[in-house]
């Protein structure tokens, strides 16, 4: 059996380590490279608490992609680095599974163009937890009957971007699911600027960043005499791995740009 050759970009980070451990445990995948700007030279197996894998963390992504002949790059880095990483993957004809958030609409358009030119598949997913994908789908359906809604997203205190990519994607799905617009409300008198949260597509989004959290989101719909709350909690980073592994298996057989894990779910 030919195994899928996978390189992890951002391998030294917390999500990167989980991805490494998940890949090593699969019979149909092989880890061929680990790249990060931190931990350069460290043996990735030892970093992840595994047996020695014979793979050291290196810093030059483009060089690593060429040398390892990777088929798929998994990227969990930062919004400041991810676009250059995707360009390197496109240049070397390597498919991409992108979990880094903070990408703009312009970034997504550029990734679409890179996927087209390279004739490879690039998946950008704000959230790889299957439960989060279901949460967003349920919110899309609920928006038909509950146009009034607010989103509260809660993440660990080291997350750089706000609101989260999941919250933005959820708001987009709610906006397309609405058949009626919310009733106009008087402008709030904010005693503290920003107390009512940010607004995207007419939906208030509130971001919480605290130690002890991983990734959580609550969607609260309101209607006459009732509320509907849809919530998802990722209590451990391992919750994202089934989605990441599914994406790794699918992108080598596809071409083009996909946004959201739901685009790959049957």
Six token digits for residue 74: 């998994």
Whether residue 6 contacts residue 31, with contact meaning beta carbons closer than 8 Å, is answered with yes
Helix (H) or strand (E) holding 117: helix 105-118
- Asked if 264 contacts 247 with a C-beta cutoff of 8 angstroms, the reply is yes
CA distances for 188 relative to 136, 171, 185, 206, angstroms: 27, 21, 8, 15
Tokens of 189: 């008198």
Catalytic residue among 155, 169, 216, 250, which? 155
159 is catalytic: yes
Any idea what DSSP says for residue 186? Answer: P
Distance separating alpha carbons of residues 162 and 174, to the nearest angstrom: 19
Contact 13, 76 (CB under 8 A): yes
- Per the annotation, the verdict on 155 as an active-site residue is yes
Choice among 3, 66, 159, 204 that is catalytic: 159
Q: Give the whole-angstrom CA distance, residue 265 versus residue 254.
A: 13
E strand or H helix at 72: strand 72-75
Positions marked catalytic? 155, 159
């Amino acid at each position: 059996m030919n195994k899928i050759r996978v390189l992890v970009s951002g391998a030294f980070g917390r999500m990167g380590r989980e991805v490494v451990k998940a890949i090593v445990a699969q019979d149909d995948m092989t880890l061929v490279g680990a790249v990060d700007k931190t931990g350069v030279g460290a043996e990735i197996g030892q970093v992840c608490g595994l047996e020695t894998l014979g793979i050291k963390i290196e810093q030059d992504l483009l060089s690593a992609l060429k040398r390892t002949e990777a088929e798929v790059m998994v990227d969990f880095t930062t919004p400041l680095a991810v676009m250059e990483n995707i360009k390197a993957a496109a240049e070397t004809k390597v498919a991409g599974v992108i979990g880094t958030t903070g990408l703009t609409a312009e970034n997504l358009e550029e990734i679409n163009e890179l996927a087209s030119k390279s004739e490879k598949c690039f998946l950008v997913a704000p959230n790889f937890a299957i439960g989060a994908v279901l949460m967003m789908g349920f919110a899309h359906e609920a928006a038909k009957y509950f146009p009034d809604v607010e989103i509260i997203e809660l993440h660990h205190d080291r997350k750089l971007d706000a609101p989260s990519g999941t919250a933005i994607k959820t708001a987009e799905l709610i906006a397309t699911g609405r058949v009626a617009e919310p009733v106009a409300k008087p402008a709030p008198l904010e005693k503290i600027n920003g107390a009512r949260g940010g607004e995207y597509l007419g939906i208030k989004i509130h971001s919480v960043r605290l130690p002890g959290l991983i990734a959580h989101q609550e969607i609260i719909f309101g209607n006459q005499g009732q509320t509907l709350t849809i919530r998802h909690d990722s209590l451990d980073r391992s919750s994202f791995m089934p989605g990441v592994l599914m994406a790794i298996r699918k992108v080598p057989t596809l071409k083009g740009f996909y946004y959201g894990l739901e685009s790959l779910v049957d």
